[in-house]
Structure 1
Amino acid sequence: MSVNLEFVAKVGKWPPERKDEVLAALKAWAYEDEALDKREVLVDILGGGPRNPIVRMEAYTTGPIIISGFGDWSAAAEARLRKRIAEAGGEDVSLRFTFPDED
């Protein structure tokens, strides 16, 4: 079954000396493992300011995307994300989905 969804993949912790490797792993997950388009999914380090003090890395959709076979894909995508980030030295990983058609 295909679904329309948005997601945010977050990495909350990493050793300062591994920042570049963890960010590269998050990008590799989004663009290589999941073959998502760079116009549809952005990867960045966010936070650290007075209005948003928690620093984290995120890969997030810019709008709804269509995923075929969501049930199988979601579990496998999360496993690939956790593996990539762990191998790069990051932790505190989450992958959250929202379904705009259900609003």
Structure 2
Amino acid sequence: MPFVVTENCIKCKHTDCVEVCPVDCFHEGPNFLVIDPDECIDCTLCEPECPVGAIFPEDDVPAGQEGFVALNAELSRSWPVLTVRKDPPEDAGQWDGVPDKLQYLER
């Protein structure tokens, strides 16, 4: 069961999770990260590293966030792999917990 990056990552895009991933399953977009479900080995290392609580096991994705399962799969096919930690956006703290951020997702 792969892990899924959900809505709270949009415009926060912390990359602490990337550093601990042993299989390089994270892919980076302009303002969001996704996990390739075919590469994820369910090691659980990324979930506690996310400072905004945006990563969940596929079976535990919060209600209303189920569409992010397919979105992670879709975007991981076209976005590049990210293997190193980067600084988050300067305004990341202002976006943590903001509802309805899907409208701000940049592809």
TM-score, normalised relative to structure 1: 0.36
* Structure number, greater radius of gyration: 1
Higher helix share: 1
